[in-house]
Structure 1
């Protein structure tokens, strides 16, 4: 029988936020794979490091971490050949994924290539959205509210249209887009309800009112949460 391919979510940063099922799959794996930059360490591996058994075979999937070259098809093609060979040899392979594998996760590109011919499963993980809401003490939505998740690199006109037609919003991948997004929220009258968090659940976590954030220092792993009622549990609207 061929091996089992499992994509596991290791959560947003705190090693204790890995699920029991993900932990079991990780500790039973013959080969542990993870995305990594072309140079440097893998964040996914760093998160899972306390749970990785000693002496286990590992494979770093090195790829360009720039939008213009992502997803890098050649990288995933090569990784799929390597992982596919291990699966055909009967090895159980685990791929580590920051947050959740199917929420902006790179594992989807391996799954697309390998799942049609191999046994595969996905173990969901705690996403940065949920971790950020918990850290900020800010419920995302309630009752029949609509939640919209927006990548900050989207053009202003698209961000504006989506924000005008939602109850709660999460703006991800803020980084160098912070000043532009902050100006847009101010124009929409939403700045007072916006909360900012960076490196959620990590030792470097910071939570600030959006108006107080230094735009020149916002990292890629930063996020803005807002609700048009100010708080999701409030009745009525403040707009």
Structure 2
């Protein structure tokens, strides 16, 4: 049985990939990665020039290309057959497969939906630096001090749930923003925290952009993370 190994690529800069991930990638015979239809895919873009000549590439194209609430029945209806199909194809591979994942595979990564469909002995995972870590370093400020509580939220949550959790934390990271930016802005403004919020787009990548969230328009790229820094105990 071939082995399937998902490698965390880190936040975007190839120099932040682990040595193990680099070694597996540069010796791979089959490389699989997620992408939107017709797009190169962010993970594939991150490893440009590192895939061995002659390696097979398996682009796994999502049937859903926008962030919708997971409570929507259409979400599972569209994605479950997609993951079933690719899990079956990975099981039938005639050589080991390396699957690419931005950030860390176990932090909002798509690969976990394939892992749950594959035999345990077939799967390996290589950790990666999460994208949010690269983003808060891009702000040049520590994200937590002393006993600060850090909360990580997906912006796809209902507005009332976002508001409840924002009100109950010191430091904050919000992911999956995209078209949910206006909702997030309303929540932060109502909590009185909008002036201290930052938006980092494409953290550690060539197109990196760091701005106060209040200065951003109505929509943000998918690869955007909002950050509020804690202000806790300091010696």
Of 116, 130, 133, 2:133 maps to 130
Aligned counterparts of 1:56 and 1:228: Cα–Cα separation in 2: 45
Aligned 1:43-192 pairs, distance under 5 A = 43-64=42-63, 65-66=65-66, 67=68, 68-69=74-75, 72-86=79-93, 89=94, 91-116=95-120, 118-192=121-195
SS at match of 1:51: coil
Name the structure 2 match of 1:25.
24
- The alpha-carbon deviation at position 131 of structure 1 amounts to 0.5
Aligned counterparts of 2:153 and 2:39: Cα–Cα separation in 1: 28
Aligned counterparts of 1:226 and 1:21: Cα–Cα separation in 2: 32
Name the structure 2 match of 1:199.
202
Q: Give yes or no for contact 1:33–1:93 (8 Å, CA) kept in 2.
A: yes
Structure 2: 5+ residue stretches without partners: 69-73
Structure 1: 5+ residue stretches without partners: none
Q: TM-score, normalised by structure 2?
A: 0.89
Give per-residue Cα distances to partners, 1:183-238, cap 9 Å, x unaligned: 2212211122211111111221111112211224x222212100352xx5757xxx
Give per-residue Cα distances to partners, 1:43-85, cap 9 Å, x unaligned: 1111112211111111111112233546711111111111111
Name the structure 2 match of 1:8.
7
Q: TM-score, normalised by structure 1?
A: 0.87
Give the aligned CA root-mean-square deviation in angstroms: 1.9
Name the structure 1 match of 2:215.
212
Aligned counterparts of 1:157 and 1:187: Cα–Cα separation in 2: 11
Q: Give yes or no for contact 2:4–2:124 (8 Å, CA) kept in 1.
A: yes
Aligned counterparts of 2:234 and 2:163: Cα–Cα separation in 1: 24
Name the structure 2 match of 1:222.
224
- The alpha-carbon deviation at position 180 of structure 1 amounts to 2.4
